[in-house]
Structure 1
Amino acid sequence: MRKIVTRALAALALLAGCDTAADFNIPTHKDLKPGGVYVAYVNGCKEGCDQVAKGDLIQTVDGKKVETRRDFLAAGVTDGKPHKLELLANKTHDPKQVTIVAETQDLPPLKDIPPFWTVGAKNLDKAPSWARRRMFGHASPMVMLVNIDGGILDGRQLYGKKRFIVYWDWGTRTEQAEAITFMKVLQKARADLEARGVDIMFVHLRFPTNQRQAAMNDSDLRKFIQKWSEKKPDGTPYPPLPTYRFPNATEFNPARQLGLENAYTVFENLGSSPTIVLMDEGGIIRWHSEQTQVPPQGSEVTDPVQYTIIEAIKFALEDL
């Protein structure tokens, strides 16, 4: 029994620890520096896609240079005809040429998806190093989220819009305080974010590292939000953020836990609360930070909690 407990604690410590680029294939500045279009995930095609790997950088399509996802999609590779790709291999940057034959395919409820989920390498490289945890550079992972006001969303339904997602727990007083601060700042920034087409999702769950506190139900979440919401100058509270939670054991349905990648879930990639995930409209995670970041010397914002959420908001407004 002691060995089992020790192994479990070691696993939890590893999950909550620092993610390394080598262990989780996290794209670094060095990996992205050559530019081009970063392959986040291979959906497959009739011919050639098995020679393309996550992390490869597409440089040209049929001799034409590509630098953004829009460039790649505009190349029209899903017409069923051969198309020649020039790429740089993941990590090594060794040049390679691949000819693919692709047709549009469906990933219900999505239709006409491309052979690869992609993002411009320069755009992906805008995130700071501390916002490159293990989901960074992935396509929307498998997840099932319950809206406390009704309805269910999955990872595929997140595709098509920019998302500012905060995953938070209340296992400790520190985690509660951090979640409250994040919520208050986001309530103030909500109008600006929505004006830029960014939807906020405030998601409560019991993190894998929380062994003491059960997750809140819908009623508890509403009370929590009502109690701690930021107040306007006239004393009235800001509207509550769109709030979600992970499903309980009765609600959970594996068939509803969907994403843009197979066998890759949000839950297995969460380490510590609070976690911020910023996703672009193409379903690519452009920011994944956990806990809070100590501000650099000379920063106007000196509180780590405030600094972390403010930096994420700036990124969502300017670079997402």
Structure 2
Amino acid sequence: MSNVETRPEQVVCKAGGLPGPSCDQQGRSPVEIITSRDVPLGGPRAMTVRRTLPQRQRSLIGPWCFVDHYGPADVSVTGGMDVAPHPHTGLQTVSWLFQGAIQHIDSGGNAGLVLPGEVNLMTAGAGICHSEVSTDDTTTLHGVQLWLALPDATRHQPEREFEHFEPEPVSLDGGEMLVFLGKLWGTESPVQTHSPLLGAEIRLDPGASIDLPVNPGFEHGLLVDSGDIALENVDLPVAAIGYTGIGVEELRIANRSDEPGQLILIGGEPFTEEIVMWWNFLGRTHEEVARYREEWQAEGERFGAVDGYVGKGGPGQNADGMGRLPAPRMPDVTIKARRNPPPQVQK
């Protein structure tokens, strides 16, 4: 998925913070709440997504640097997702759906459907471009799009990689989970990542509560899709992330609703490298990102080309008539590296 904001450098995100004093947390770990903001996903019939990362409050959770959450949305009228070819550098994109289907095509020669319960991971390395279009038979679109920052050791790799994996559900006492990246509770994904991390969908039955053992070397974020959810006895709003820092060995997750709860758990070792993140590029300096933009605008070889893109406007173009997304204008000031807070809950 692309970040299609025309002035991405100017966004001021909403703060979250700690829960109020009425919360009973005796014996439990503190929780920081990261709220979302609405972002239109391009075009006059834009689909709205809820973005929790990045924020001024916190830019990363482990190497996770971008979290978009969308739907359930009736796309039978709006046309759904139609993101024309756009570039990425220095990251991996992680696509995970609850409902619907999205056609993915990238300049590495990879094409495939993103389907519910199946993870698609694309590695940009030094540069890649791809398109994303919801299929014609999709009436409801619902899922998350996530990015992982690549460490300096591998972010310049020339390979444009793509992996697909359908995890088996693992039963919990009160629900089930699907581990699509990393490992959790004895279940491990075979998908290659470049930092120690975790990504899983958790489905909680009505009224269920679980104590989930986790890696104390990881910081974690729990995104609420549905349910009346509490993390460590802290109520989490729908579309918000509950954050816990390193040193936590167990997460208590409860669904107080009489409807099933659906959650995404992300985590990883703190990512200590400073990054410059602008539009769809991850780099280390303003100058590096500016060079990426120039190469994309010039249709340079770094990103390659998407072959076979069919948007809502027909072959080779989206509903707005574009065959590729133009990069926004660079800001007039130097973009500074993002410095993430320490991996503990902020007061």
Report the TM-score when normalising by structure 2: 0.24
More helix by share: 1
TM-score if structure 1 supplies the norm length? Answer: 0.25
Structure having the higher Rg:
1
